[in-house]
Amino acid sequence: MPQFAVLFDVDGVLTDSYRPHFLSWQRLMGELGVEFTEENFRATFGRTNPDIFQQLYPGELSAEQMSQWGERKEVLYREIITEEFYPMPGAVELVDALAGAGFLLGVGSSGPPENVHLTLEKLDRADRFGAVITGADVSKGKPEPEVFLKGAAGLGLPPAACAVIEDAPQGIEAANRAGMTSIAITGTAPRESFAHAKLVIDSHAELSPERIAQLIAANDQ
């Protein structure tokens, strides 16, 4: 088999982080004396911390204030996942199967490096990933392809030899713009939002090393 790689997003792909992110926002806003409901969270889920603060406090916060609150929110998030961690069903099994089949593995996430590395530690699979690219490593976030291009470079493979597993439409766009095989997993976003993906799945159990290799080979023709 030719040398192939798979790059994973983290939130919604390797870990089901919906509840920990909700709880961390709820605790942060509680510290600020503001009620934060799950309805509030659903209306902002998947957006960056500055975007969320701007939506909650339009024009009221300085960049420094948003940065301070954002750092506090991420500290709370890491405290929560240290005690309450949810791998995505089938994620660990897929990582092990791919590694066993000789795939190179990487991470391409917009998240803070501390969050990403803690997630890999909680999965007990940090040693499987030869390249870990986080939001701190890129100047332009998704849908710009920088995070995935740096992941491929870190693994020493051309983009055409890589597949990306993503849960967000902008992540799929980034994978496509990088020239990689894009695989969307539903959950964070509905199936109909992934018309631009090479493959849409509902579970990691639908994937295998053989199927991913076939997709990459077909995409490279």
- The top-level CATH class assigned to 18-83 is mainly alpha
Tell me the average pLDDT of the chain. 94
pLDDT number for residue 46: 66
Q: Could you report the per-residue pLDDT of 60-72, keeping only the tens digit for each? A: 999 999 999 999 9
- Where do the structural domains in the chain lie, given as residue ranges? 5-16+86-219, 18-83
pLDDT number for residue 71: 95
Q: Could you report the per-residue pLDDT of 59-105, keeping only the tens digit for each? A: 899 999 999 999 999 999 999 999 999 999 999 999 999 999 999 99
Count of alpha carbons within 13 angstroms of residue 109, beta-carbon side: 24
Strands (E) located in 52-193: 104-108, 131-133, 162-166, 181-185
* Closest residue by Cα to residue 103 from 199, 1, 11: 1
Cα separations (Å) of 38 from 15, 25, 136? 19, 10, 28
Q: Rounded to an integer, what distance in angstroms lies between the CA atom of residue 185 and that of residue 167?
A: 5
Cα separations (Å) of 108 from 12, 40, 217? 13, 27, 21
Domain 5-16+86-219 fold is Rossmann fold (3.40.50)
DSSP reduced 3-state for 108:
strand
